[in-house]
Amino acid sequence: MEKLYQHAHRGSHAFHATPVYVEPQEIQVYGKGLSEYKKSINMPEPWPGGWWHLRDIVNYEISSLWGMMDAAAMHRAEIIDFRASLTEKW
C-alpha cells in the first residue's frame, strides 16, 4: 500500500489538484510481507486502479489517522505505561 500511496500521491499533483489515471497493471508493491498486489492481511482493500483525485488522498490520510486513533484507544493503558516508564529512566 505504501508504494501505491507514494505513486498516487506523487502522480496526482496535489498542489494543482490535478487527477491522474493509473492503469491497474502499473500498480506494484514492495516491502516486507507484500509480494503481490492482492487482498491480504497487509492490504485488506487494494485499490483497483483508475482515477486518483485529491479527495482520494484526503480520504486515504483520514482513514490512516482513524486507524492510528483506534489502535491508540485499544492500547491506551500500554501506551501510558510505556511513556511513564520512559520518564522514570531519565
37-80 confidence digits (pLDDT tens) = 888 877 788 889 999 998 988 988 999 899 999 999 999 999 99
pLDDT at 14: 53
Give, for 65, the enclosing helix (H) or strand (E). helix 54-74
pLDDT at 15: 60
DSSP reduced 3-state for 47: coil
pLDDT at 1: 46
Q: Using CB atoms within 10 A of its CB, is residue 52 exposed (0-12), middle (13-18) or buried (19+)?
A: buried
Handedness of CA 56, 75, 34, 10 (dihedral sign): positive
State the residue for C-alpha cell 529512566: 89
pTM of the model: 0.57
Every domain of the chain and the residues it spans: 2-89
Asked whether the predicted pLDDT for residue 88 surpasses 50, the reply is: yes
Structure confidence at residue 13 as a pLDDT band (50, 70, 90):
low
Residue 54 and residue 77: Cα distance in Å, rounded? 36
